[in-house]
Amino acid sequence: MNQQPVAVTIAQLECAINHWRDRRPAADEDKPVLCAEARVLADVYGLLIYSGAPSVEYSTLNAMQRDALAAVLR
C-alpha cells in the first residue's frame, strides 16, 4: 500500500517539476511553456519560495497537484 506523505518538501517539488519538464518539454524552445503537471507544481513551489517555507502539507494540495506528484514520488 502506498502511503501519502504528510508534507512535501521544496526539494521534492523541484524534483517533480524537473521530471515533468524532461518528460514533456516545451514544443517551442523560443517560447518555453511548462506542461500542465509542471505548472500546477510550480504554483506551489513559487508560494513556498515567496513565504520561505520549507514544505507544504500534502493535504492542502489539490487533485491535479497530488496526481502530478504521485507520478514522481512513487
**pLDDT tens-digit series, residues 30-62:** 888 999 999 999 999 999 999 999 999 999 999
Q: How many CA atoms lie within 13 A of 1 on its CB side?
A: 2
Across 3-7, 34-38, 67-71, least confident range: 3-7
Q: Are 61 and 37 in contact (CB under 8 A)?
A: no
Mean pLDDT of the chain: 91
C-alpha cell at 9: 518538501
DSSP state string for 29-56: TTS----HHHHHHHHHHHHHHHHT-SEE
Residue 55 resides in a domain:
yes
Number of domains observed in the structure of the chain: 1
3-state secondary structure of 24: coil
69 falls within a domain: no
Higher pLDDT, 5 or 7: 7
Containing structural domain, residue 47? 7-62
